[in-house]
Amino acid sequence: MAARGGAARALALLAARLPVWAWLAGLVVLSTAIRYALGRRIVAPWIFVDELIYTELAKSFAQGGHFLVRGAASPGYGLIYPLLVSPAWAAFTAIPDAYAAAKGINALAMSLAAVPAYLLARRVLGRGHAFLVAALTVAVPSMLYTGVLMTENAFYPLFLCSALALVAYLETPGWKRALLVLAVTLLCYITRSQAVAILPALLTAPLLHGLYERRSLRETVLRAHRFLYGLVAGGALLVVLLQVARGRSILGLLGAYKAATDSHYSVGEVLTWLFRHVAELDLYLGVIPFAALVLLALQGRSLPPRARAFTAAAVTLSFWIVLLVAIFASQPSVQRVEERNMFYVAPLFLIALLLVVRREVEWSRKWLLGAAGLAAALPGLLPYEKLIGTTAKSDTLALIPWWRLQDSLFSLGSVAYVVAACSVAAAALLVLVPRRYALVLPLLVGLYFAAAQQPIESSVHGFRWAGLGALFTGQTTGERDWIDRAVGSNADVAVLWSGNAHAFVVWQNEIFNRSVGEVLVTGDGMPGGLPETKVTVDDRTGNLLRPDGAPVRHTFVLTDTSVELAGRVVARDERKGIVLVKTDGALRSLTRVTGLYPNDSWSGREVTYTRRACAGGTVTAQVRNDSSLRDTPVTVTAVVAGSTVARVSVEPRTPGQVTAALRPEGGSCTVTFVIDPVTVPNLSTHGANPDPRELGVHFDRFDYAAAGGGS
């Protein structure tokens, strides 16, 4: 026992003598390893089209030093993140390897948030407490974004750098620190245009700090912070003039958030979504840190000088970040809590919690009860029935654990009551835990973060399954770079999207194969609004034509079997009905299929298959009766020239096929498949988002055999 006690004391002494940089380095390394291991469990991108965009930007920069999406300039996207991960595409030819390497870069970059978090906390806390903040910073559930190719990985540490610069400036105002604040803010903006929200925080933080220090408005603006206000005004004017000189709209400075300016807002709608974002942030943090920052804000004048500077910066940064996100979310096309765009402020609340735990100030009982009561009340008022759903998987992580719990323990309508009870219990701890045990509060928050991450990462609603589902929706060959393996990474491969395959088929194969280049579309464009080439099909010859009438030429084309191209199939994704065709240069379509819903394999009542330059033969349609829609058989009848040539009954769980003999007429052959019955999904099946379509069966592919056994 004595030996063990001596060893423990020796280890404690050694730990105490280690420099803080060694502790931070160890924390970053440990976090990087954990996050990389978890990120590798996500087998494919699934947040579309965002991950595709940043993959394209990184790949194009690695290849040619330009930020392009599908070969076209795409302004409005942050450049720091694709620049950060571009070495992965430069170092590895095989895209799956580059994808894995990018996650390693993600894990390191996001784990480095521990460093500015520590430095920020160290300004107001002791070394041990500051290190605890750093550990909690890399324990937040949103660290799981290291497994996706998104700007969150770069913006999280940079935002904390901007908070650190702002706090340092408020402590000792001066032109050098003002320049530093603006420089870091600009770096954040280049990373993510959402950083425009930092600008009003720079203008209002000195005002709140002046209020805490009992300065007049005139003294604050014209004396204490004249350099900052002058630099902000001059910088803003310069940026506007440069934007106008380039012939671009000033609103273009908002980047992706420019879309928010195209909508009309009501004050009531914005306030509703502001409330929901504040309440959800409270839930995300585990209630106690939220109450802590509210308490600091209420008692700002009684805080020590450095704590006043921190509180002014934390309150204003959090307010403007959440307000901008709430305005964006209130658009009719969004209407969801965008936690993904505001979790960056979490370390500010964690520092506030440690400040409260230290109890350097005698907290007013009235303000303590008020802050705890507010934090306890907000989460229970969220409309969980509206917010819990598929969009929560990527954007609102704090809802996923509750979504998982309601699957088996309680109903969706009961979530608010359970959350309210848990929130009241958490807030009560802040009020009731004795001072000598107060350190248990941040430890409980850490346990809450750890417990929340399990369902977010690995439940059926979590990241891992989302990646698996997205990959399966896009390809099922077993090799994500199957196209490169078939024809080489330098081959000329185009994608022809007919609208009859899921968009993920294009996106997943495009991401994982270097050889895939131009995306051609017939009919309506693909979702996502990315660069693409719209082509038409000459009904007489079947030739594919560009908008200027020129024939489309590519060596290889990836397409679905509803559009059969002249050429030789060199590889295929059998299950998805996707083929890679080697052409003779010019693209010529041999078939046309109508009656399938866009972006889907579902049919309506009728599907028509037409084959050009046809002298007869047969076509076999591979069909499926979806058991999630009905549990009764469906009849599929093949009609040629007004006569029934085949009829099959397709059971719900057994794939079927319908083979029709074709008759040439005018140089082409046509067969119509009639499905009976069709079904309209009801509310009980699809909740608040019913599918209004009449659904027949899935047409997975069409197999043609020419007369005499050819093809």
CA-to-CA separations, 206 to 162, 187, 188, 297, 305, in angstroms, rounded: 15, 21, 20, 14, 13
Quote the pLDDT of residue 237: 79
Q: 582 pLDDT exceeds 60?
A: yes
CATH of 601-711, one of 2.40.50, 2.60.120, 2.70.98, 3.40.30: 2.60.120
| Distance of alpha carbon 243 from alpha carbon 253, whole angstroms | 8
Show the tokens assigned to 295.
Answer: 């308490």
Q: 684 pLDDT exceeds 60?
A: no
Q: 608 pLDDT exceeds 60?
A: yes
Confidence of residue 683 (pLDDT cuts 50, 70, 90): very low
Q: 644 pLDDT exceeds 60?
A: yes
Quote the pLDDT of residue 341: 97
Tell me the per-residue pLDDT of 14-43, one tens digit each, with 9 for 90 and over. 566 789 899 999 999 999 999 999 999 999
Query: Which amino acid makes up residue 93?
Result: T
Quote the pLDDT of residue 685: 45
| Distance of alpha carbon 72 from alpha carbon 49, whole angstroms | 16
Quote the pLDDT of residue 70: 95
Tell me the per-residue pLDDT of 124-176, one tens digit each, with 9 for 90 and over. 999 999 999 999 999 999 999 999 999 999 999 999 999 999 999 999 999 99
| Distance of alpha carbon 107 from alpha carbon 522, whole angstroms | 40
Confidence of residue 333 (pLDDT cuts 50, 70, 90): confident
Q: 12 pLDDT exceeds 70?
A: no
Tell me the per-residue pLDDT of 475-517, one tens digit each, with 9 for 90 and over. 999 999 999 999 999 999 999 998 888 999 999 999 999 999 9
Tell me the per-residue pLDDT of 72-120, one tens digit each, with 9 for 90 and over. 998 889 999 999 999 999 999 999 999 999 999 999 999 999 999 999 9
| Distance of alpha carbon 342 from alpha carbon 326, whole angstroms | 10
Mean pLDDT of 549-561: 95
Tell me the per-residue pLDDT of 184-213, one tens digit each, with 9 for 90 and over. 999 999 999 999 999 999 999 999 999 999
- Neighbour count for residue 217 (Cβ, 10 Å): 10
Mean pLDDT of 540-558: 93
Mean pLDDT of 465-469: 97
Containing H/E element for 504? helix 503-512
Quote the pLDDT of residue 236: 77
Mean of all residue pLDDT scores within the chain = 92
Q: Tell the residue number behind the tokens 């049919």, with chain if given.
A: 603
The contacts of residue 652 (CB under 8 Å, 6+ apart) are 625, 626, 627, 630, 631, 632, 633
Confidence of residue 249 (pLDDT cuts 50, 70, 90): low
Q: 688 pLDDT exceeds 50?
A: no
Q: 289 pLDDT exceeds 80?
A: yes
- Neighbour count for residue 6 (Cβ, 10 Å): 10
140: closest CA among 451, 399, 429, 460? 451
* Bridge-based pairing state of the strands 516-521 and 533-534: parallel
Quote the pLDDT of residue 484: 98
Angle between helices 127-137 and 440-458 (to 10 degrees): 20
Show the tokens assigned to 307.
Answer: 């704590």
SS3 state at 656: strand
The contacts of residue 193 (CB under 8 Å, 6+ apart) are 76, 78, 253, 254, 255, 256, 257
Mean pLDDT of 658-664: 95
Q: 7 pLDDT exceeds 70?
A: no
Judge residue 17's burial from the number of C-beta atoms within 10 Å of its C-beta, 0-12 exposed, 13-18 middle, 19 or more buried: exposed
Quote the pLDDT of residue 651: 94
Q: 599 pLDDT exceeds 80?
A: no
Per domain, the residue ranges of the chain are: 15-150, 477-589, 601-711
| Distance of alpha carbon 290 from alpha carbon 280, whole angstroms | 11
Q: Tell the residue number behind the tokens 């099909």, with chain if given.
A: 537
47: closest CA among 189, 191, 151? 151
134: closest CA among 20, 241, 40, 210? 20
| Distance of alpha carbon 284 from alpha carbon 117, whole angstroms | 18
Q: 584 pLDDT exceeds 60?
A: yes
Confidence of residue 5 (pLDDT cuts 50, 70, 90): low
Query: Which amino acid makes up residue 600?
Result: D
Mean pLDDT of 452-467: 96
| Distance of alpha carbon 63 from alpha carbon 51, whole angstroms | 18
- Neighbour count for residue 10 (Cβ, 10 Å): 10
Quote the pLDDT of residue 244: 73
Quote the pLDDT of residue 563: 85
